[in-house]
Structure 1
Amino acid sequence: MTTDPFSLFETWFAEAKASEPNDPNAMALATADSSGRPAVRMVLLKGHGPDGFVFYTNRGSRKAEDLAANAQAALLFHWKSLRRQIRIEGAVSLVTEAESDAYFASRGRDSQLGAWASEQSRPLAARSIFEARYEAMQFRFEGSDVPRPPHWGGYRVVPDRIEFWQDRAHRLHERRLFTRTDADDGATWVEGLLYP
């Protein structure tokens, strides 16, 4: 047992990486626009620690527009092989330009070119238009490194609630909730249990 939610996350995440057949770092990202209309989609966790949980995207996408209007989000990891899930809620901020540059440089070239070619979440009249834009980016950056597009970068969800859910027989599940409390000497976490 631990009273540190980040240590517990690290343990569960390591176990998921060993048991999940596909994308153990996949997480549902829930946002809401300025009118409160919710949206949810799957994204990939690309960094985590006590400072938060990081993902990257096109900053013109619907999720980015939601976050610009309402900088709060919820994440959900569901690891079916382990019969576990983790729910995370908190404020969202942009990662630094240096962090975005470093992660973008680590991506495969095709993914880098795709980031330039895509107007993510915008209407697309035909797949061939996107494919032509991708080919144009291949030509544009032929023989050189692909820089990070100015419209692409990372976001960090800084949690104030983290819930660990473990399946138990007869729906007698175990739910551990960690809630952040901010004090003059820094943030601390209070642990409690929830009824299943």
Structure 2
Amino acid sequence: MGRSGSKKGVPEGARRDLAGLRREYTRAGLAEDGADPDPIRQFGRWFEEALRAGLYEPNAMVLATATPDGRPSARTVLLKGFDERGFVFYTNYGGRKSREIEANPRVALLFYWGELERQVRVEGTAGRTSEEESDAYFATRPRGSQLGAWASRQSEPAESREELERRLAELERRFEGRPVPRPPFWGGYRVRPERIEFWQGRENRLHDRLLYAREGPGWRRVRLQP
């Protein structure tokens, strides 16, 4: 056996000097007079720019949850809607993320648009969307994704890939020739934001950070040091 910390078996690329990996941020900054006083409208502005830039899955966001005793976990999900009420995503209500949300609804979201040198951080509380909203979104999904929602017992162990594919084939036969209804264990969550931070990379690591925090019916905005 090799000594602890040995580089044996580690690919050469993985041994690259990480301290030397850096880039300078040179795009436009984010000034208070150029930002919308409403953070949802500001998010919409940045999201439209991410769409126009042709970024790969600009609606991808990291969702962080935690157990009641503070054990965190994070994963990437897809944003499927946003407005003044919050940010919406859909999932299996039996999976780990849902179990943690039901026990501790305080969550965080992170959007990272590296090509634009931007991040958006959201902190808030998650709650289920209405059944009508979940039904409406589920009806827009490709049929294969609809069947996949039925087939997956999210976060539970699987004996094999073949087990999942066998279950999918059974569901294809079960729903052949008719619409696939939304599973009762699948639906949406809406994250009601309490804090939204917009981060724009700047030269010399003096990044722009504008934080919006709920204050009564409106928002208070403050610049944070990088």
TM (normalized to structure 1)?
0.97
Q: What is the CA-CA distance between 1:20 and the residue it aligns to?
A: 4.2
User: More displaced, 29-38 or 154-163?
Assistant: 29-38
Q: Deviations over 1:84-126 (max 9, x none)?
A: 0000000111100000000000000000000000001111110
**What does 1:68-83 correspond to in 2, within 5 Å?**
68-83=102-117
Structure 1 contact 20–79 (Cα < 8 Å) conserved: no
Residue 195 (structure 1) aligns with: 225
Deviations 1:113-147 (CA, angstroms, capped at 9, x unpaired)? 00000001111110000000111110110000000
For structure 1, the residue ranges without an aligned partner over 5 or more in a row are none
2:210 corresponds in structure 1 to 176
Counterpart selection for 2:127 from 78, 85, 93:
93
> Could you tell me how far apart the structure 2 residues matched to 1:113 and 1:19 are?
33
Q: Which residue of 2 aligns with 1:124?
A: 158
User: Which of 167, 173, 176 matches 1:139?
Assistant: 173
Q: How does 1:19-98 map to 2 (within 5 A)?
A: 19-98=53-132
Partner of 2:140 in structure 1?
106
How much does 1:33 deviate? Answer: 1.1
Aligned length: 192
| Native 8 Å contact 1:62 1:121 kept in 2 | yes
Tell me how far apart the structure 1 counterparts of residues 183 and 135 of structure 2 sit (CA, whole Å). 9
SS in 1 for 2:116: coil
Partner SS, residue 81 of structure 1: helix
SS at match of 2:68: coil
CA distance in 1, matches of 2:204, 2:175: 57
Correspondence for 1:160 among 173, 176, 194 = 194
Kindly indicate which of the two structures has a greater share of residues assigned to strand: 1
CA distance in 1, matches of 2:108, 2:222: 19
- Residue 21 of structure 1 and its aligned partner are, at CA, apart by 3.1
Segments ≥4 residues shifted beyond 4 Å: none
Aligned with 1:30: secondary structure?
strand
TM-score (norm 2): 0.84
Computing the radius of gyration over CA atoms, which structure comes out larger, 1 or 2?
2
Identity %: 54
Quote the Cα distance in structure 1 between the aligned partners of 2:125 and 2:145: 28
